[in-house]
């Protein structure tokens, strides 16, 4: 019994151990983590496709450098899978201590892939970070389950996402309140709706929203697709898509490339409904002069797709301590407040207001979310992401049927 207890105690104390003989350290000894992080360079692999997000990451990098002596290099990605592939290649080459990726902005299929291949720093560390104290993991289930895969502390939450539709109220059109209503809406308004072709992220997210609303029991989507009859489960979805496609913009012969192109079609009065995976999308576009100030957001009353995005540390990161310091800062009330400001980014926080100090809570409450941003109560229910395997099969079948890819 004593031997067992001692072994368990040792395992608890050594929370993070480098591969191949690297020094172990205890996340709960945060002062030690910060000391080891000083002077390290963290290669933060994160999507680089939006200037406001790049500016935010640069602000965080400057702050962490000044405060903790950690140098941050933003490796701008167009596809997170590229960073994952690098870690896979390094593992195959036996590069277990000096990896080129220290921190990744990640979720969904990429997280599932890295977790199952043993590519993540383990055991769990995220819920040991000091800023975890403020995280709303009790009320936001997507913080602890990523695309149905248990997070188990292997990634730290740093933002919430939710599908939001928007339209120009000056056109005085009644908006649909579900995917089924949207199909009927396109019949009454032919050529006035479009969505990006998968595998574009927003296009694929729209398919998932449509799938969830088209199945008899959405719970089946929480299991791997192999456990279900894909054709039977998706029959209603594709019947609705078939009916919709002939009434799409350009009769579904071509599709906008991404959400930016979709938003431009709305601005050019070629379509009447656009959508994105950020509640602040329309507000930001209005502020940037990309949409008229009569644009407003809406959601379906029964819910829209939502998830959490995370930060993960590869098992072979060269600057593990520095990566943890950066991840902890990005979860802090200071960084989360700036991130939620629509003039900076507008990304919803992962924090619980009742866990914050009075001063921080007041600061969040004082944020002007913008004229076209729905508040937390207005965003409605969140529909959980299907198991990651469903997206793979869904995209494959979509391409087979409609033969268009960006």
Total domains in the chain come to: 2
79 and 57 belong to one structural domain: yes
Q: Which range, of 84-88, 225-229, 329-333, averages the lowest pLDDT?
A: 225-229
Whether residue 254 sits in one domain with residue 173 = yes
Share of the chain above pLDDT 70, in %: 93
Structural domain range at position 75: 13-159+309-365
Is the residue at 80 inside a domain?
Answer: yes
Is 124 among the domain residues?
Answer: yes
Q: Do residues 138 and 169 share a domain?
A: no
Rg (CA), the chain: 22
Whole-structure pTM value: 0.85
* Separation of alpha carbons 296 and 170, rounded Å: 10
Exposure on the CB side of residue 264, measured as CA atoms within 13 A: 8
Residues 295, 373 contacting (CB under 8 angstroms): no
Residue 333 has which token pair? 């009330």
What per-residue confidence (pLDDT) applies to 342? 87
Asked whether residue 376 is domain-assigned, the answer is no
On whether residue 5 sits in a domain, the answer given is no
What CATH number corresponds to the domain at position 208? 3.40.190.10
Same domain for 41 and 58, yes or no, is: yes
Average pLDDT, the chain: 91
What average pLDDT does this structure show over 306-312?
96
Would the pLDDT of 17 be above 60?
A: no
Lowest pLDDT segment from 22-36, 160-174, 332-346: 22-36
Q: Are residues 110 and 152 in the same domain?
A: yes
Residue 372: inside a domain: no
Calculate mean pLDDT across residues 216-240: 92
- Matching residue, tokens 């450098």: 65
Within a domain: residue 8?
no
Please provide residue 214's backbone torsions phi and psi, each rounded to the nearest 5 degrees: -110, -5
Residue 20 has pLDDT above 70, yes or no: no
CA angle 262, 268, 270 (to 5 degrees): 70
- Are residues 315 and 275 part of one domain? no
pLDDT of residue 350: 96
Same domain for 283 and 204? yes
pLDDT at position 6 over 80: no
Indicate if the pLDDT at residue 137 is higher than 60: yes
Tell me the pairing of strands 164-168 and 274-276.
antiparallel
* pLDDT value for 25: 60
What is residue 9's predicted lDDT score, i.e. its pLDDT? 35
Q: Are residue 292 and residue 172 in the same domain, yes or no?
A: yes
Q: Same domain for 276 and 291?
A: yes
């Amino acid at each position: 019994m004593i031997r067992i207890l001692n072994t368990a105690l040792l395992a608890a104390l050594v929370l993070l151990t480098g591969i191949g003989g690297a020094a172990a350290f205890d996340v709960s000894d945060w002062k030690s983590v910060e000391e080891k992080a000083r002077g390290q360079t963290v290669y933060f692999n994160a999507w680089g496709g939006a200037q406001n997000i790049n500016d935010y990451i640069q602000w965080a990098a400057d702050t962490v450098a000044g405060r903790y002596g950690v140098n941050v290099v933003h490796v701008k990605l167009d596809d997170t899978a590229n960073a994952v592939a690098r870690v896979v290649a390094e593992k195959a080459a036996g590069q277990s201590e000096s990896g080129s990726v220290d921190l990744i902005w990640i979720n969904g299929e990429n997280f599932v892939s890295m977790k199952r291949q043993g590519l993540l720093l383990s055991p769990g560390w995220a819920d040991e970070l000091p800023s975890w104290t403020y995280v709303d993991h009790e009320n936001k289930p997507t913080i602890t389950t990523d695309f149905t895969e248990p997070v188990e502390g292997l990634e730290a939450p740093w933002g919430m996402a939710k599908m939001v539709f928007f339209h120009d109220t000056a056109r005085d059109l009644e908006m649909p309140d579900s995917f089924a209503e949207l199909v009927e809406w396109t019949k009454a308004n032919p050529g006035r709706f479009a969505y990006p072709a998968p595998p574009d992220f927003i296009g694929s997210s729209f398919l998932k929203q449509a799938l969830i609303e088209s199945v008899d029991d959405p719970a089946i989507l929480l299991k791997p697709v192999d456990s279900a009859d894909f054709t039977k489960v998706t029959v209603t979805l594709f019947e609705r898509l078939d009916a919709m496609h002939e009434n799409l913009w350009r009769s579904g012969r071509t599709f906008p490339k991404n959400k930016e192109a979709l938003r431009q079609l709305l601005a050019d009065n070629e379509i009447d409904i656009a959508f994105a995976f950020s509640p602040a999308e329309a507000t930001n576009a209005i502020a940037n002069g990309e949409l008229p100030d009569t644009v407003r957001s809406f959601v379906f009353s029964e819910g829209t797709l939502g998830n959490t995005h995370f930060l993960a540390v590869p098992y072979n990161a060269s600057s593990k301590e520095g990566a943890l310091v950066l991840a902890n800062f990005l979860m802090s009330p200071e960084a989360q407040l700036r991130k939620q400001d629509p003039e900076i980014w507008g990304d919803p926080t992962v924090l619980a207001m009742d866990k914050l100090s009075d001063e921080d809570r007041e600061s969040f409450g004082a944020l002007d979310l913008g004229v076209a941003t729905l508040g937390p109560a207005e965003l409605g229910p969140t529909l959980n992401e299907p198991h990651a395997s469903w997206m793979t099969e869904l995209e494959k079948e979509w391409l087979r049927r409609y033969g268009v890819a960006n």
